[in-house]
A and B are shown apart, each in its own frame.
Chain A
Amino acid sequence: MTNALHSGSAEYVTVTVGSQLFGLPIARVQDVFVLNQITRVPLAPDDIAGVINLRGRIVTVIDLARRLGITGSSSRAHLAVGLEIDKESYGLVIDAVGEVLKLGADTAEAAPANLDERLRHVAAGVHRLDDRLLVVLDVDRLIDLKPMEIAA
């Protein structure tokens, strides 16, 4: 993924959380779905929004804004991006989904060093778009992150 960022171009599904634009590698995105009837999981880490039934599969939903420490996300977020990691289904709660962008190495840059620690850990890089910046998310890191590390 990181390689694709610097050599040639890659396609990203763009999503917004709060006011921030993120890009997810298109190959990793399974679907975008509406969240309803979400079941809370007691004792789970803060950033676990709950679990839902998505066409017979149980999807663990992660509150992306919480995970990344983004404020200003609409509290009534009801959209999620579906991902599959190690045969397990996860969903990332987002505010809105945008278009698919094909981005080349020319606009890519490494994540700036002064980025919020939580964000920098999962950022595969940044693209300079005309009007705003797009942070490319490393999906594996995002899901793999242990709850304790965020707390730190």
Chain B
Amino acid sequence: MDELLRDFLTETHESLDNVDSELVRFEQEPNNTEILANIFRLVHTIKGTCGFLNLPRLEALTHAAESLMSRFRDGMPVSHDAVSLILATLDRIKNILDGLEKHQGEPAGTDDDLIAQLDAMAQAGNRSQVSGTLTYQVLERPLKPGEATLDELERAFRDTPGPEPVSHKPDDRKSSERSDAKVASQSIRVNVETLEHLMTMVSELVLTRNQLMELARRQAETEFKVPLQRLSHVTAELQEGVMKTRMQPIGNAWQKLPRLVRDLSVELGKQIELEMLGADTELDRQVLDLMKDPLTHMVRNSADHGIETPVERRAAGKPERGTIRLTARHEGGHIVIEVSDDGRGLDRSKIAAKVLKSGLATEAEVAKMSESQLQRFIFARGMSTAESVTNVSGRGVGMDVVQNNIDQIGGTIEVKSVPGQGTVFTIKIPLTLAIVSALIVEAAGERFALPQVAVMELVRVRAHGEHRVERIKDTPVLRLRNKLLPLIFLRKYLRLGEAAEQETENGFVVVTQVGAECFGIIVDRVFHTEEIVVKPLASKLRHIHAFSGNTILGDGSVIMILDPNGIAAAFGSVRNGAITLETVADSEKNFAERNKTALLIFRAGSNAPRAVPVSLVTRLEEIDVGSIETTGGRHVVQYRGHLMPLICPGENVRIRESGSQPLLVFSDGERSMALVVDQIVDIVEEEFEIDPSDGRPGVLGSAIVKGEATDILDVGHYLPLAYTGWFGSSTSQKSKRHLLLVDDSAFFRNMLVPVLRAAGYTVTTAASGHEAFGMIRSGRNFDVIVTDLQMPGMDGLALARALRAENASAQIPLIALSAMTTPDMIERVRRAGFHDFVAKFDRQGLIAAIKEQTDTVTSQAA
């Protein structure tokens, strides 16, 4: 390409971006002559250069635009339409420039349409200018002493020598060029590649310096020490200097936004104000490039989905004009960018509906999600809460792309939204990608670098120490401040060393955070932190997600840089947040709602696998056999300050004679009991076909798990063996009440029946609402009815309404069972006529509720 043409293109592109935002400002402050002069100068420069380069289309277009703009300068009022027209003209100019860049010549086409409009507007301006308004100013009282007449004042102003009037006539061009020239002499254009090369060389220098320092450290006294110190300082300064050349104000990425927001407000019929704070915050060019698109997308989203129409806003008691605020600031080694709006906020129900529709979570899961958990779903693939695909957003680019871009540069994004008040996105990104601070760790004798950004804390773990690695079957976890932190063995993850020794109990847990997820990486050793120069992986290695790059350490060796994002992905389903102890209970509620059931497979007494629903198990423990005591013919062990009875599920089950004994611990409030097992085999989560029990005690039923017939243990059978009064008050005291249990899940029925029987009730079951209703109609009497809410056909609510409508059954206490315990749901349940509402799997709660209801009836009857 012609050197001259290329320069022209680079320059005009930059100026055009400037003018875009200037024009938007101009519309708001039409009297700002400085802005006008800027725009005018640009258009004028393009026009001048076009003639020189022989670009007739551009020349004609800029000429027409210039004519209109000179009218503004002469005082023509700046109208909204005029600004739109000029913006359209600028767009056309950009189009032509793009064509120029590609084909080295102006693309074919005509601009007569625009030129005609521009001319017409300029003409209209001529006419309208004639009709100015003159205000007749008279002082309607006699002058006081010391006052001057208006005329006198006017004259005084005119006669006082002032600054030379600023002329905007042709000679203005010279003066503006002069100021340009001054700026030009202070800054030069440098090719980006040159800068990149410089950066690479400095990186090399940093490495060499590190190597020299390492050598010098090993020698006690050397004459190199002083010059090395000096070299070190100079290098650091040079590095900083070169980094600076790569820095650009974030405002560069924001330049197009005022125009975007302006266009959007026109298009959407909204009033939107864009506030930009901290535009001069500098960050690395590379990072800036990657941030441009996400920011544009987010601002567009805010304008489209966030800000309401003026009518809606007025109705909500907010000012008609909505505000989108962009802020940027330094915070440590990071840049924090916030995109906030004062719009309607994220719509929980819409997100929930979309989550359900895209199958990202089940209804039950959604119901128990916190606001922020649900909001995070907007970053999931295929989520867009816009109802209609507007011209503005909903182009198939979602927040998932935004998150991806941010992930790529090792940044994080968080969302906070308050319905009716607005949404705030907070993005945290590193200042630069080239040099990062990293923690050097070791696993299986190999060293790796872990970016410091992702590291939250280090925890030392010892087999018998305060912090130790615990396991739920094969899954290592760490108890950290009341949370269970999922762990991953770096050795195992990277398949280092012998399989047998891949899991060692002693080491360090690097608590790592990626987005909102926390997990721990178990390493053998932790060294120091070091500033490393990130070098991209060879393309042959780029498919390995565990690494984001590699680097050369001070001692000259190459090490791989771990990618926390890649490791987080290895956790798979755990990704939606760290498992907390609470969620173990939550998942219990869930358990029957889903078709999938998680079973803990173990062996006890024989080789045949046996199973128990994971959700019923409180903990898995291994205790030293030596700590088992025998009192009154029963085995007990001291556990958390209490004596915990050990029960052998079956005659063949024996407590081991030495070593450690695996236990399944079941807790209910303060009380715990443990089942003695030989071996914990696996956790399997699948849809199981469960055949009801053939009557063997302690067996609920059986299922085929991984091709083997597996007995499912009836926990309800064993619990009373540990404590006779496990299920509340003893049963013999009151007459047996008759209870109807309605649930479509056979498995759930089978599990609950023994529990209820043990609590002293006569239990009848029904598999559907219809069946239950049929029983009542046929005249059967029950003291209390416990029903599931979610059932096919007649559900729990429908059953309740039907029962209430019947004279015979209107007074029977009704208890609802459900996994969903939202306030909304509780209200619906209450209105349907239920007396109580119990979360599924809350056995104690259920027993208490039944007791309360039946006692009420008794006392009423008495």
Contact = CB atoms under 8 A, between A and B. Distances in A.
A42 B560 contact: yes
A85 to B, nearest CB: 9
A56 B207 contact: yes
Interface in A20-78: 37, 39-45, 48, 51-53, 56, 58, 60, 62
B550 A42 contact: no
A60 B540 contact: yes
A7 B558 CA distance: 43
A90 B560 CA distance: 16
Contacts of B541: 41, 44, 48, 51, 60
Contact of B494 (A43, A45, A52): A43
Nearest to B549: A58
Contacts of A48: 540-541
Contacts of B496: 42
A58 B550 contact: yes
B552 A56 contact: yes
B551 to A, nearest CB: 8
A51 B535 CA distance: 12
B374 to A, nearest CB: 35
B557 A43 contact: no
Contacts of B453: none
A39 B556 contact: no
B208 A40 contact: no
Contact of A53 (B446, B547, B552, B560): B552
A43 B538 contact: no
Contacts of A130: none
B509 to A, nearest CB: 19
Given A37-B557, A56-B208, A88-B538, A43 B552 contact: no
Contact of B544 (A41, A86, A90): A41
Interface in A104-137: none
Contact of B446 (A37, A40, A45, A89): A40
Given A56-B204, A60-B538, A143-B540, A39 B558 contact: yes
Contacts of B556: 37, 53
Nearest to A40: B446
B495 interface: yes
Chain A contact patch, size range? 20 to 34
B544 A43 contact: yes
B604 interface: no
B539 interface: yes
A44 B495 CA distance: 10
Contacts of B599: none
Given A56-B552, A58-B550, A60-B541, A39 B559 contact: yes
Contacts of B539: 86, 88
A58 B546 contact: no
Given A53-B552, A53-B556, A58-B550, A90 B208 contact: no
Contact of B550 (A37, A43, A51, A86): A51
Interface string B517-539: 00000000000000000010011
B540 A42 contact: no
B540 A58 contact: no
A128 B34 CA distance: 80
B380 to A, nearest CB: 27
B540 A43 contact: no
Contacts of B540: 45, 48, 60, 62, 90, 143, 147
Contacts of A56: 204, 207-208, 552
Residue from the set A40, A48, A58 with the largest chain B CB neighbour count within 10 Å: A58
Contacts of A43: 494-495, 544, 546
Nearest to B539: A88
A58 B560 contact: no
Contacts of B560: 39, 41-42, 51
Contacts of B558: 37, 39, 51-53, 58
Contacts of A86: 539
Nearest to B544: A43
B235 to A, nearest CB: 14
A56 B208 CA distance: 8
B552 A44 contact: no
- Which of B204, B546, B556, B558 has the most chain A CB atoms inside 10 A of its CB? B558
- Could you say which of B540, B547, B551, B552 has the most chain A C-beta atoms within 10 Å of its C-beta? B540
Contacts of B208: 56
Contacts of A147: 540
Contacts of A37: 556-558
B544 A44 contact: yes
Interface string B548-577: 001110001111100000000000000000
B557 A39 contact: yes
Contacts of B559: 39
B494 A42 contact: yes
Contacts of B546: 42-43
Interface in B305-332: none
Nearest to B560: A41
A88 B541 CA distance: 12
Given A42-B494, A53-B556, A53-B558, A58 B535 contact: yes
A147 B541 CA distance: 10
A41 B562 CA distance: 11
A44 B560 CA distance: 12
Given A39-B446, A41-B560, A53-B558, 13 more contacts: A37-B557, A39-B559, A41-B541, A41-B544, A42-B446, A42-B495, A42-B544, A51-B538, A52-B558, A53-B556, A58-B538, A58-B558, A88-B539
27 contacts: A39-B558, A41-B544, A41-B560, A42-B446, A42-B496, A42-B544, A42-B546, A43-B495, A44-B541, A44-B544, A45-B540, A48-B540, A48-B541, A51-B538, A51-B541, A51-B560, A53-B557, A56-B204, A56-B207, A58-B535, A58-B538, A58-B550, A86-B539, A88-B538, A90-B540, A143-B540, A147-B540
- Nearest first, the 8 A-B pairs at minimum CB distance are A42-B494, A60-B538, A39-B558, A51-B558, A56-B204, A53-B558, A53-B552, A43-B544
